[in-house]
């Protein structure tokens, strides 16, 4: 459903529909992805009226969702599609290939697919198009690489809500005693190839019924394979999912095996062999005798290891660390005391300051920082100095009404191309939290981009550098920047780096996070929420990626209680 709305949004953009209409469809798609219920189910139960109670879904979009549910089609989408050159949609999926250029390539060069696009670039025809040139052609080629590297994988933010919905459905089947998510999603990778579920039946005779029920779930489009213990399906959203039903005595062995990673499994199996054990997805054998496998803990113990959290099972040093007893105690969601980067209706957020505070309190937080955009970022409603001060007074008034909770004054301040900031120092000094961001001049050479970020990190008012690489997963490659130097500068100046947990960003990614942690840099895990519901969903992604980056609670700024945080910010 969300995908259908996204596709329509993309076509609307090409036809030059008003920006607002395109954005409305994109926003609706995002809302649907974050739901813990299925939009189709809402429509069936309560009609368009039920859909319209969702944020961002009005009459028009609700009607389209209804049409999609009842007929499987969307007339508006099909009408626009027919009016466009064939293959245009494929081209639009290429990051860095905007609607105007896609149109030009499709009409002037008669390009219909990705292979054709690649040929047209190689022959120099794309570069020769009006207003394009070599640089633009190279950028499109890079976009094609990005598309290919993500082909067949979906972002964590698509996979997680979808998997939780299916998990809940499986858990509610009468024959199911227990069910868990396995695979890369349990490891919280930033993209997911397919979903993996493992279930224990209440009694062996329940297994066929569980598999059959799974194949019939409303999220399922088609069944790829079905056997006595396994069912593979393709979901309506295009994602594949596997369900395996295993007996309780094998569950730990199966969970370990199907959680992966593959390289990690190989290491564990090797360790088992040195202890005279053979290990597979059905259990552990000592000689011919079965010696357990009901829980993961049991297996780890048998091979001489402490429990290794799924998020770091990648064979990148965790087995050695575990053997030497220096496995980190990873951060958990409950360790976070607040969130230091979010937007409100003062700039491009959907909710007011009071609404964001209420959502954060519901999560058990003690503080938030409201960081709306700065003045030069006009497209995102950047605040003038005057408005920033007005907003600060609103925060003072809000704080007087709140108990045991503090709203901090902040701003997401643009780092200008030369590394100076978008507000003068005396204005920054009035804020509790200054989030410094690069939103422009992405194409600077690496040395300049690095110098720009380092200069911002050196400003004594700056709390943290936001989304340090600027990448958007599957959409925009990181800009050229020397992260080792950025990490060093953060360490030198005592400035923090951000793990921006917005679904598309997850920036810093796990690799650089681990480097930053090793260098002793403090990380802020922020959701950059533009809507109150994102505080919770972003927290899940942020914690998952932080754990993959080996972060402990002590490595993270926003695990500090309010008084310690304020002391640290005042430094």
- Which spans of this chain sit near ligand DGT (rule: CB under 6 A)? 183-184, 189, 192-194, 196, 257-258, 260-262, 265-266
What is the distance between the alpha carbons of residues 149 and 165, in angstroms, rounded to a whole number?
27
Residue closest to 428 by CA, chosen among 379, 376, 370, 388: 388
Other Cβ atoms within 10 Å of 60 Cβ, number: 14
What is the distance between the alpha carbons of residues 58 and 341, in angstroms, rounded to a whole number?
28
Closest distance of CB 214 from Ca ion, Å: 14
Closest distance of CB 315 from Ca ion, Å: 17
The answer to the question of residue 242 lying near Ca ion (CB under 5 A) is: yes
Distances (CA, A) of 262 to 21, 266, 293, 319: 45, 6, 18, 14
Closest distance of CB 183 from ligand DGT, Å: 3
338 binds, among Zn ion, Ca ion, ligand DGT, none (CB under 5 to 8 A by kind): none
What is the distance between the alpha carbons of residues 179 and 193, in angstroms, rounded to a whole number?
20
Phi, psi (degrees; rounded to nearest 5) at 338: -175, -175
Closest distance of CB 244 from ligand DGT, Å: 10
x-or-dash string of contact with Zn ion, 398-437, rule CB under 5 A: --------------x-------------------------
Joined tokens for residue 74:
């969307």
* Residue with smaller CB distance to Ca ion, 101 or 191: 191
537 binds, among ligand DGT, Ca ion, Zn ion, none (CB under 5 to 8 A by kind): none
Closest distance of CB 196 from ligand DGT, Å: 5
* Residue with smaller CB distance to ligand DGT, 22 or 261: 261
Closest distance of CB 218 from ligand DGT, Å: 23
Other Cβ atoms within 10 Å of 392 Cβ, number: 16
Closest distance of CB 177 from ligand DGT, Å: 22
* Residue with smaller CB distance to Zn ion, 310 or 470: 470
Residue 42: CB partners within 8 Å, gap ≥ 6? Answer: 50, 51, 54
* Residue with smaller CB distance to ligand DGT, 43 or 258: 258
Q: State the DSSP string of 209-235.
A: HHHHHHHT-TTEEEEEEE-SSEEEEEE
412 binds, among Ca ion, ligand DGT, Zn ion, none (CB under 5 to 8 A by kind): Zn ion
Phi, psi (degrees; rounded to nearest 5) at 212: -70, -45
Q: What is the largest CA-CA distance in the chain?
A: 78
Joined tokens for residue 537:
């969903």
The answer to the question of residue 194 lying near Ca ion (CB under 5 A) is: yes
* Residue with smaller CB distance to ligand DGT, 265 or 463: 265
The answer to the question of residue 183 lying near Ca ion (CB under 5 A) is: yes
What is the distance between the alpha carbons of residues 286 and 20, in angstroms, rounded to a whole number?
65
Instruction: Please give the residue ranges that form the binding site for Zn ion (CB under 5 A).
Output: 412, 528
């Amino acid at each position: 459903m969300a995908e259908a709305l996204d596709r329509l949004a993309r076509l609307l953009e090409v036809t030059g529909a008003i920006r607002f209409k395109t954005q409305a469809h994109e926003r609706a798609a995002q809302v649907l992805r974050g739901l813990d219920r299925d939009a189709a189910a809402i429509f069936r139960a309560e009609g368009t009226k039920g859909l319209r109670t969702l944020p961002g879904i009005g009459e028009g979009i609700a009607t389209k969702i209804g049409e999609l549910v009842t007929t499987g089609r969307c007339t508006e989408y099909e009408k626009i599609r027919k009016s466009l050159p064939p293959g245009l949609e494929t081209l639009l999926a290429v990051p860095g290939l905007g609607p105007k250029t896609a149109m030009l390539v499709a009409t002037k060069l008669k390009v219909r697919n990705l292979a054709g696009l690649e040929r047209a670039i190689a022959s120099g025809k794309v570069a020769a198009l009006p207003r394009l040139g070599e640089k633009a052609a190279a950028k499109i080629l890079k976009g094609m690489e990005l598309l290919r590297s993500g082909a067949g994988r979906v972002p964590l933010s698509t996979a997680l809500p979808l998997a939780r919905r299916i998990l809940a459905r499986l858990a509610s089947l009468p024959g199911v005693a227990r069910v868990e998510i396995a695979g890369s999603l349990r490891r919280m990778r930033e993209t997911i190839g397919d979903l993996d579920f493992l279930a224990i039946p209440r009694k062996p005779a329940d297994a066929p019924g569980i598999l059959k029920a799974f194949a019939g779930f409303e999220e399922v489009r088609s069944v790829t394979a079905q056997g006595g213990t396994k069912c593979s399906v393709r979901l309506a959203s295009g994602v594949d999912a596997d369900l395996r039903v295993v007996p309780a005595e094998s569950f730990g062995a199966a969970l370990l095996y199907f959680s992966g990673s593959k390289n990690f499994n190989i290491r564990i199996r090797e360790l088992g062999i040195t202890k005279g054990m053979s290990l597979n997805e059905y259990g552990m054998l000592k000689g011919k005798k079965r010696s357990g496998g009901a829980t993961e803990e049991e297996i780890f113990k048998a091979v001489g290891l402490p429990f290794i959290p799924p998020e770091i099972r990648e064979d990148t040093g965790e087995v050695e660390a575990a053997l030497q007893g220096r496995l980190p105690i990873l951060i958990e969601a409950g360790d976070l005391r607040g969130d230091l980067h979010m937007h409100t209706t003062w700039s491009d957020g959907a909710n007011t300051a009071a609404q964001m505070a209420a959502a954060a309190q519901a999560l058990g937080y003690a503080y938030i920082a409201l960081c709306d955009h700065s003045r030069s970022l006009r497209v995102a409603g950047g605040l003038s100095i005057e408005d920033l001060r007005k907003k600060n007074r609103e925060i003072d008034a809000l704080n007087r009404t709140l108990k045991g909770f503090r709203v901090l004054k902040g701003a997401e301040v643009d780092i200008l191309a030369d590394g100076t900031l978008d507000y003068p120092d005396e204005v920054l000094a009035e804020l509790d939290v200054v989030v410094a961001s690069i939103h422009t001049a992405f194409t600077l050479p690496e040395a300049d981009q690095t110098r720009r970020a380092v200069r911002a990190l050196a400003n004594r008012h700056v709390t943290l550098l936001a989304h340090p690489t600027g990448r958007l997963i599957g959409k925009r490659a990181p800009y050229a920047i020397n992260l080792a130097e950025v990490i060093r500068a953060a360490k030198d100046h005592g400035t923090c780096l951000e793990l921006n947990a917005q679904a598309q960003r997850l920036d810093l990614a796990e690799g650089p996070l681990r480097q930053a942690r090793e260098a002793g840099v403090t990380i802020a895990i922020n959701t950059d929420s533009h809507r109150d519901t994102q505080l919770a969903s972003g927290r899940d992604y942020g914690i998952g990626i932080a754990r993959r980056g080996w972060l402990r609670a002590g490595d993270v700024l926003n695990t500090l209680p309010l008084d310690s945080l304020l002391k640290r910010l005042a430094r």
